[in-house]
């Protein structure tokens, strides 16, 4: 019996002859390349459209509905580019990264002239107060002793009866901005500079991990990030800069430098103190160093005495806004016993994460996720804290929530229409609902591929 050695071959429909499999592969590659190019062009059009529309209307509040449409357009472009970024290989198109980076910076430049948030009025005020030789922790904006410093921007400061709440490193940036030029645009440029440095450092960390630097685009091109820093100029970009610097230095086993950077991050915004347990479980000496840096940063302001933490304790007392707990109606946040229960749960959860998770980036992402789920007040820009880690963990739950945050701006729409800043009850339901659905999707996807942990525990 003889074996049939003939193999079936496909015919070229135009010639009727057998087709060359190498040509088929080349054609498929060409088709794929064209598809990726089309997605890239459409993605950039969406994001540029977002930036141009927001720049033309001057920010959020002038035309909130139009801003919301632009925000949705920006996320449509973002998701298309996320598909392209997901296919990038460490060695593919490496020379293209500078052009992508220029695109990221260009979007921020387009948005630079937009009206920032009311918070920036306080940033500038506290910088000017320090210039005049006063302690911002000892004097609230409405203090008569500061009456000679008041100007038009002073009228727009939120909570003028509260002294400074932002930690010392943030205060140093406010002082620097006021010294360069006492204007809102000066403060905004400082915030945007920190944001740009976050993008550059993030790409550097990804390169060191053997990944394509294009992963940084998942943070850099996110419309929520662009709105938070290039439009509204929230100081959180300073905290994110020192946080990614801490991760970068820990990755190369420079634990003292990682501790120094974390101490500066905590001194920029206190919430990243939740990353301290990870450092403690790897190097107690480094954790002590981070706390020492944080404590020493308050020395120049020690003359304020008990007022150093006055605003922090007042802001944390009894209020709830856009939180998961408020949305679900589980616990009454103003009750003292509830605060103790939530605090114990948060400490236990973060300690467990920090002890079990080898990767600093993964631990940071999980710890900040725990914080966002349990904290009583959640504003849209808080999500930038976890969007920073999307390039590492490649989980889309917070990206989905960031997209759904388009409904957060309903409160500003109410303010423009009726003069009252009121958040509709359904808005947080949509955001937390999207987070839950995306979390379920992440869990399903996690079953189909192994977890990628890239940062090792320092010895």
Predicted TM-score (pTM) of this structure: 0.88
Weakly modelled stretches of the chain, pLDDT under 50:
1-11, 13-15, 20-24, 93, 451-459
Instruction: Quote the domain boundaries for residue 240.
Output: 27-446
Establish if 9 belongs to a structural domain: no
Establish if 453 belongs to a structural domain: no
User: Which pair of tokens denotes residue 53?
Assistant: 């529309």
pLDDT at 342: 83
Which residues, in sequence order, are CB contacts of 149 under 8 Å at separation 6+? 125, 128, 129, 132
Establish if 19 belongs to a structural domain: no
pLDDT at 22: 45
Establish if 22 belongs to a structural domain: no
User: Which pair of tokens denotes residue 222?
Assistant: 């996110």
Establish if 12 belongs to a structural domain: no
When divided into structural domains, the chain yields a total of 1
pLDDT at 3: 45
Establish if 223 belongs to a structural domain: yes
Matching residue, tokens 């802001």 = 315
pLDDT tens digits for range 362-384: 999 999 999 999 998 999 999 99
Establish if 3 belongs to a structural domain: no
- What long-range pairs does 341-348 form, CB within 8 A, spacing at least 24? 342/374, 345/374, 346/274, 346/370, 346/371, 346/374
| Nearest alpha-carbon partner for 232 in 417, 444, 8, 409 | 409
Establish if 17 belongs to a structural domain: no
pLDDT at 36: 79
Please give the helix or strand (H or E) that residue 386 lies within, else none. Answer: helix 384-387
């Amino acid at each position: 019996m003889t074996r049939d050695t003939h193999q079936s071959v496909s015919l070229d429909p135009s010639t009727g002859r057998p087709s060359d499999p190498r040509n088929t592969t080349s054609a498929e590659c060409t088709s794929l390349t064209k598809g990726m190019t089309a997605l890239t062009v459409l993605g950039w059009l969406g994001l540029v459209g977002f930036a141009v529309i927001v720049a033309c209307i001057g920010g959020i509040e002038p035309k909130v509905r139009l801003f919301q449409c632009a925000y949705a357009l920006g996320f449509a472009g973002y998701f298309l580019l996320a598909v392209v970024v997901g296919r990038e290989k460490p060695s593919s198109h490496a020379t293209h990264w500078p052009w992508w980076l220029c695109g990221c910076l260009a979007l921020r430049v387009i948005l630079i002239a937009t009206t920032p948030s009311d918070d920036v009025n306080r940033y500038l005020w506290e910088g000017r107060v320090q210039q005049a030789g006063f302690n911002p922790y000892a004097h609230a904006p409405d203090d008569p002793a500061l009456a000679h410093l008041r100007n038009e921007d002073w009228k727009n400061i939120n909570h003028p009866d509260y002294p400074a709440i932002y930690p010392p490193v943030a205060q140093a940036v406010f002082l620097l901005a006021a010294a360069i030029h006492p204007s809102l645009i000066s403060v905004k440029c400082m915030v945007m500079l920190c944001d740009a440095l976050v993008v550059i450092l993030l790409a550097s960390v990804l390169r060191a991990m053997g990944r394509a630097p294009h992963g940084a685009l998942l943070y850099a091109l996110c419309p929520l990030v662009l709105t938070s820093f290039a439009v509204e100029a929230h100081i959180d970009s300073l905290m994110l800069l020192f946080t990614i610097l801490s991760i970068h230095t820990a990755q190369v086993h420079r634990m003292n430098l990682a501790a120094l950077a974390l101490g500066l991050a905590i001194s920029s915004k206190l919430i990243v103190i939740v990353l301290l347990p990870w450092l403690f479980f790897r190097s107690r000496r480094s954790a002590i160093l981070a706390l020492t840096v944080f404590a020493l940063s308050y020395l120049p302001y020690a003359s304020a005495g008990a007022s150093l933490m006055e605003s922090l304790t007042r802001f944390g007392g009894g209020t709830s806004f856009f939180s998961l707990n408020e949305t679900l109606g589980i616990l009454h946040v103003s009750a003292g016993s509830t605060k103790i229960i939530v605090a114990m749960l948060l400490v236990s959860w973060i300690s467990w994460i920090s002890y079990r998770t080898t990767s600093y980036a993964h631990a940071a992402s999980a710890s900040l996720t725990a914080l966002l789920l349990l904290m009583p007040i959640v504003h849209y820009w808080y999500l930038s804290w976890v969007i920073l880690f999307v390039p590492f963990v490649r989980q889309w739950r917070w990206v989905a929530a960031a997209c759904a945050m388009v409904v957060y701006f309903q409160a500003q729409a109410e303010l423009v229409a009726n003069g009252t800043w009121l958040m509709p009850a359904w808005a947080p339901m949509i955001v937390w609902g999207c987070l839950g659905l995306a979390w379920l999707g992440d869990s399903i996807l996690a079953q189909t591929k192994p977890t990628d942990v890239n940062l090792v525990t320092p010895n």
